[in-house]
Structure 1
């Protein structure tokens, strides 16, 4: 009997905690509130442009013939860590070729909350990746003691750009780091490129390497929030890559990386997987079901390249991990439009790919969202293995001109208006022409992002409780409504 009473009390306590998590304490009301509408649309000269001022008015039962977005601010979900992109060697090398005026434009465009789109996350690579001008490490090859460790290579381009980006963002940015491959001598393939595996005798040495890197960057004035275990651990790439099965990653985290980071650096956040949505559920099951490994994992990172096999994005897998492991966080850690083609710099579906992913990923439980390179040149590089890709901003290094692509504006509809520590809010759309996600910022302001995937303009209701506004979104457009 006593046990039953205890169990009942625990259930009541859990129910209360869930209710508190799902409720916004401010009891938001839309009555009489003004709505500012910002719009970006294909074939119209609108790029995060202010296109309307609306006022909420009384709402009656909507008809089935109307398209409506229903928002319930009292029901909130995960906190938003931020939105941003990666500062790679390639981005930093291109940045260094710009004039001081163009460099300032670039920094404002990404990191200034008023003049630009207010990025709040930076990812960077631990020694070389494909978007470096060549392969390199921070030690002399074969140095098992790591005595030769130095980040001097990064002091020429990458560290200066990260520091300028942090300053432009007001030093409130979350920085995390990811490795693409251990040094060649630590791998069974003796090659940083084309896969291979970390040799067990170097597990501790490699864990120590992460620590040295993070300490070196922090000594340079770059605070590091966290790290991922390995970029794309199931992909044998032509560039820097290293393979970990789920069990390999679990055991490396549990026995080496986790304890080493905890002992040397304290509460740095460790992200597992850092690969596509397709296999993320299996990786989560193996690592998060092991209590000794799970205690070191802040959460799971994922990419969007599962479409390489010809299918559609597996957004539902993100939701399934969130449901199965609600105590773990989800972070989108990389995505870009592959196969660079200069003729497609203004190709509108590239931007829509970003909008679709951002909306679905946040609605499915994601807390942070990180694009790949923040800047590339007019050839989609530099890249030492010919893996040229798109970025939201490109620089024509011959003219110095910055090229803004549709992707920049689609990301901006989120990053400019959804601040760190915002919360996702319950919302739903009544028709499939529109996609939408809603957020409430720490200051109490709401931001609803609406995306029109159809070839026709759409008039829709935004309904909050007994209040609504009616708005129109252009074909293939995206809007943010702030209220």
Structure 2
């Protein structure tokens, strides 16, 4: 039989279409024969990441307006999930060193073990001191513009051992990134690491080389550095270590010094995160840096914090979405959040946990790829902190008794970090009532993870609806649930 060019084209097209159809079908999520494991944490109960139910799907019908429903469409996928974690600061490491060995093991498992704990996979640390250190220090002698005295010896006492233990507990790898709070005093116009000031132009190259030395020193110790942020909170003049960069200054430092220097030193694969400050001004920073092709090529993405409500306003979640929409090729990473103003009477203050749940759900739904809490451990005073900026952590240690104190924040974070795995894809998830918040992810093993949060004073019965199937779920008052199916 003679095969004409047209026939050949039709055969190829038919084959391609059938292959495409197979791919679509193979990627379709099916609820048939699947059960739903429900894990719950609730106020005024003993439920803490507790498996509370195993449910099944049944045929669904048109939901009514009088019902509460969560709608999940697993075939509608968005950003790839990178991970969740917290920061190992000098403060965390110093408190950790005071714990008895069994409590050290408990803390490590609580954070980094996927089965015994909540499976952290990200880790932030500081480049020399921050406020959560017992004092200010750098890795060089003051005035050493050639960096000949550079040494991370200070970190060997507490911080490096704790980071290594975390990596070991996590199974041998953690995505580790670092942030500076201030250059050494002599590099700034104020000659002071504290209270703001700016990096002097004549030290731009020296400071860029400082990052290189830090990365290489840490990696020589067996702690691979995934990336770094250019400056912690570059628009805040704090009483502790701080340094101001305008959007233009950060852009120019990135494109003319830091980016080229990392590339020249064979570290061009390190991810550079800009901004690392609150949601309020992140649009301005993104516009300025990402719209400059020479600066943008060095920037992996933008980092943000949650403290913009210092002015009395509400969290500006929509700014995260607006940056994602404007620069879809850039990644968005939550780099820091904690509950400020430590008060030992509020260890179990439930609203602190709900602040985490609200932020995480909104941030993920707006395009965030990873989420990093601040200190993973602080003492019974909310420190140590060399300027008295005492805060909450998800877990505190009473260094007098050796006891660990788990706060609601730990469990709220765990409803995400324990179940959503690296490279999961966020999928479409919406709710029919403002009583509930929800986000959903499709793990690479084919299971969907849906997190539902109830902010109200009453229990809520809701439908979980996927396509033409549903299940009926009850969530207690002031609770968070993870549904795995």
Assess same fold via TM > 0.5.
yes
Provide the C-alpha distance between the structure 2 equivalents of 1:25 and 1:39, rounded to a whole number of angstroms: 32
Contact 1:24 1:74 in 2 (8 A): no
Q: Which position in structure 1 is the counterpart of 2:209?
A: 208
Contact 1:227 1:271 in 2 (8 A): yes
Q: Which runs of 5+ in 1 are unaligned?
A: 1-18
Q: CA RMSD in A?
A: 1.4
Contact 1:377 1:396 in 2 (8 A): yes
Q: Which runs of 5+ in 2 are unaligned?
A: 1-19
1:259 is the counterpart of 2:283: no
User: What is the CA-CA distance between 1:173 and the residue it aligns to?
Assistant: 1.4
Write out aligned runs for 1:378-389 (5 A). 378-389=380-391
Provide the C-alpha distance between the structure 1 equivalents of 2:388 and 2:446, rounded to a whole number of angstroms: 46
1:408 is the counterpart of 2:407: no
Provide the C-alpha distance between the structure 2 equivalents of 1:455 and 1:87, rounded to a whole number of angstroms: 35
Contact 1:188 1:199 in 2 (8 A): yes
**Secondary structure of 1:271's aligned partner:** strand
1:262-316 Cα deviation digits (max 9, x unpaired): 2211210000000000000000000000000000000000000000000000000
Contact 2:259 2:268 in 1 (8 A): no
Contact 1:24 1:76 in 2 (8 A): no
Q: Which position in structure 1 is the counterpart of 2:355?
A: 353
Contact 1:24 1:73 in 2 (8 A): no
Q: Which position in structure 2 is the counterpart of 1:155?
A: 156
1:51 is the counterpart of 2:28: no
Contact 1:32 1:57 in 2 (8 A): no
Write out aligned runs for 1:126-141 (5 A). 126-141=127-142
Contact 2:182 2:242 in 1 (8 A): yes
- When normalised by structure 1's length, the TM-score is 0.95
Which of 279, 282, 285 lines up with 1:280 in the alignment? 282
- When normalised by structure 2's length, the TM-score is 0.95
Larger Rg: 2
Write out aligned runs for 1:157-236 (5 A). 157-236=158-237
Bigger Cα displacement from structure 2, 294-303 vs 257-266: 257-266
Provide the C-alpha distance between the structure 2 equivalents of 1:416 and 1:172, rounded to a whole number of angstroms: 16
1:66 is the counterpart of 2:37: no
1:225-266 Cα deviation digits (max 9, x unpaired): 000000000000000000000000000000000111122112
1:374-421 Cα deviation digits (max 9, x unpaired): 000000000000000000000000000000000000000000000111
Which of 377, 380, 396 lines up with 2:379 in the alignment? 377
Contact 1:182 1:206 in 2 (8 A): yes
User: What is the CA-CA distance between 1:152 and the residue it aligns to?
Assistant: 0.3
Which of 424, 435, 438 lines up with 1:436 in the alignment? 438
Provide the C-alpha distance between the structure 1 equivalents of 2:303 and 2:337, rounded to a whole number of angstroms: 11
1:112-137 Cα deviation digits (max 9, x unpaired): 00000000000000000000000000
Contact 1:24 1:75 in 2 (8 A): no
Q: Which position in structure 2 is the counterpart of 1:11?
A: none
1:180-228 Cα deviation digits (max 9, x unpaired): 0000000000000000000000000000000000100000000000000
Provide the C-alpha distance between the structure 2 equivalents of 1:273 and 1:57, rounded to a whole number of angstroms: 47
